[in-house]
Amino acid sequence: MPRTEALRWLLVAGVCCLAAGCDDSDTQTRVGPKPTASSEPTDSIRKHVKPVDPSKVVAVKPTDSGGGGKPIPAAVESAPYPNPPTETRPAAVDIASEPRPENDNARALFAISSEIAETLKIRPTLVVWLIDKSAPSASVRGGMALGIPQASQRAIAKSKGKHPLSTAIVTYGDGVTMVTAEPVADTTQVSNLLSGIGEDKTESPVTFAAVNKAADQFLPYRAKGFAVLFVIAANQAGKDWSEYDQAVPKLREKAAQVFGMGQAISFGRPANVEPDKIPSESAALERIGLQYPPPNSDVMAENDLTDSGYGPYGLERLCHDTKGQFFRIRMPEQSPGWTTDASGDIDPALQKKYAPDYVSEKKYQELLNENKARMALHNAAMVPFTGVLRSDKKNLTTYFTRPKNEAQLANMITNAQRPAAEKSLDVDKLYDVLSKGESERSKLTGARWQVEFDLAMGRMLAAKARIDGYNSLLASIKQGKAFKDPKSSAFVLTRAETITSSSVLNKMATNSIMYLNRVLKEHPGTPWAVLAERELSSELPGWEMSEQ
C-alpha cells in the first residue's frame, strides 16, 4: 500500500476511535437509560415526557397499536420498567421523619399508601380512586384533594421510586364520571382534578356501577404490565347489587384488590327511625330496637357506642371479596364498646371473630333459613323501636293504700296500670317474634350471631317480665286481695330479681339475667358486653309485693 494511502487509513481509524471514546464518556455520565426506542420496552404504556405544565393534565396512554407497539404477554408482566422522569414525580416524602397519623383519616391514607408502596416495589402501579359524591360521604370526600397526592408521594418515597405510579379518578353519585379517562402521570394534579366536583343529592349512590365501569376502563392496563389497585372513599354503599355481581369476578380474575376508607357504622341503633333506613354493618339489621329502663333510658344507652368495628356492609364486603381492606374512620368521641390498643385499633383476632357474614343475598337467606334463632333475630330487628315501662327512679317502691271505697281502689289501680298497658302490646309483639328462635339457640353457630341473640333475648325477657309482673300484681290487688296482717293498710311493690307470684314470669326474669350474664362471660371487650352490663345495672326485671 502506498505511504499516502496508509496514512489516510490511519487518520480514519483515529477519528473512529475518538468518536467511540466520546460515546463511552456520554454513557458513563448519563442518568438512567437513553430516551430511545431501544432503552425501554416498545410496548410500555408510559413514555418519557417533557416537564409538565401544571395547567394541563398529562395522561398515560396505552400503545396497543401503532409505532410497533404490541400488548405485553402475561409472562413478562414482572419485567423491569424504567423509572418515570423526575419532573413528573411528586416531591419525595421523608419516611424516617414523618409523624404518625394523628386522626383516622390520616391513618387510613397512611395504611393505603403502604399498600401502594408494596405493589410499587414489584411493578408499575395504577391506583384508581373512586370518590362518592353523595351528601353522607362529604366528610371523607373533603380530604381527598390533598390526601391522594400525599398518599401517592409517600408510596413513591417508600418504594424508593423503583417503578412508576399512575393515578385515575372516578366520581359517582346518581351517575358515574370518569374524571380521568386515562391515568395521569403527575399525582400533584389531583387537587385540581377534584376541585369543584360538586355533590349529588341521592340517598343511594351507584357505588357498584362505578366500580364496574372503572374495572372495564382500567383493568386492561393490567395486560400492559401494571398492577391495578382500587380505593373507594365513601361513608355509605349503594344497593345496585347486580353491578356488584358483574364487577367482582372481573376484579378477581385480574387479582385487583379494592381498599376503602370511610366512617364506621354506629353500633347503637337510633330510635324513631324505620328499620329499613338504619345503616348496618351486616347484610341486614340484626339488632333489636328496645328502649333501656332507667337510669340508662334517660341518655339513650346506645348513643355513645359510635363504633361497630366495621364500615358499611357493601364496602366491607367488596374489600373482603377482593382480598383488600376497609379502613374505618371513627367519631371524634371514642366508642367505649371495644377493648382497643393505644392507637384505638381493635385486636384483629377480636375483629375477625365478630365480623358479619360477607355473603350474597341468597347465601344470607340460607343462613336465616337454616336456624330459627337467626331468623327470629332478623325478624325481631325489623320490628319498630319499642318503648318500655319507665319509672322515676331505679328500684322504685310503689305504695298502694287500700281506701275504704272499693270503687276508688279500682280506679287507682286502673290509672297505675295504664302506662304498662300502653307498652305491653309493643313488647308482646317483640316477644312473639324473638321467642320463636329460643328452641334452636343451642344450635346457633358464630360468635356474632350468638351474642346478638343472647343480648336481644336477655333484654326482651327483662322488659316483658317488668311489665307483666307489674300488671299481674296490680290485678291481684284490684281483684280484692286481702292483707295477711289485719293491721296492714297498704301494698308495697318493690323491684326484685324474681317474681314469686307467677312461675312463668319468674322464669322470664331469671332467664333474662342468665342470658345477660352469658354475654358478659363469653364476650368481654365488646359493645354487646357493655350493653348487657347497662341492662343489668338498670331496674331489676322482677317484682315482689309486701304489706305495710
Q: What is the DSSP letter of 178?
A: E
Q: How far apart are CA 461 and CA 539, in angstroms?
A: 13
| The three grid cell numbers given for residue 241, joined into one nine-digit string | 347489587
Contact assessment for residue 453 and residue 441, using Cβ atoms and an 8 Å cutoff = yes
Contact assessment for residue 164 and residue 145, using Cβ atoms and an 8 Å cutoff = no
Please state, in angstroms and as integers, the Cα–Cα distance from residue 320 to each residue in 198, 364, 445, following that order.
30, 16, 21
Q: Could you read off the pLDDT tens digit of each residue along the chain, which spans 548 residues?
A: 444 444 343 333 443 333 333 333 333 333 333 333 333 332 323 332 333 333 334 444 443 323 222 333 333 233 333 333 333 333 444 444 566 667 888 899 999 999 999 999 999 999 999 999 999 999 999 999 999 999 999 999 999 988 999 999 999 999 999 999 899 988 888 888 888 888 999 989 999 999 999 999 999 999 999 999 999 999 999 999 999 999 999 999 999 999 999 999 999 888 888 998 999 999 999 999 998 887 665 545 688 888 999 999 999 999 999 999 999 998 876 677 898 887 778 888 999 999 999 999 999 999 999 999 999 999 999 999 988 766 544 445 576 777 667 777 778 778 878 877 888 889 999 999 999 999 999 999 999 999 999 999 999 999 999 888 888 888 887 887 888 888 888 888 887 888 777 888 889 999 999 999 999 999 999 999 999 999 998 878 888 888 87
Q: Which residues on adjacent β-strands are paired with residue 169?
A: 129
| The three grid cell numbers given for residue 228, joined into one nine-digit string | 391495578
Strand 542-547, strand 490-496: pairing: antiparallel
Q: Could you tell me which residues come within 8 angstroms of residue 514 by beta carbon, excluding any fewer than 6 positions away? A: 458
